[in-house]
Copies of this chain bind each other. A is one copy, B any other.
Amino acid sequence: MPAPERTSLDEIAAAALELLDEGGLGALTMQAVATRVGVRAPSLYKRVADRTALVERVFLACAAELDAVMRAAAERAGSDGGDRIVAIVVAARDYAHASPHRYHLIFGGVVTDADPAALERSAEPIVAACRALVGPDRALDAARTVTAWAQGFLLMELSGSFRLGGDVEQAFLRGARWIADALVADRDQRLP
Contacts and interface: CB of A to CB of B under 8 A. Distances in A.
Interface string A155-175: 110111111111010110011
Contacts of A50: none
Nearest to A160: B112
Given A181-B185, A185-B181, A175 B163 contact: no
A152 interface: yes
B171 A141 contact: yes
Interface residues of A, number: 45
The dominant DSSP class at the A interface is helix
A145 B141 contact: no
A75 interface: no
A108 B148 CA distance: 14
A182 interface: yes
Interface string A101-133: 000100011001000100110010001000000
Interface of A: 104, 108-109, 112, 116, 119-120, 123, 127, 138, 140-142, 144-145, 147-153, 155-156, 158-166, 168, 170-171, 174-175, 178-179, 181-183, 185-186
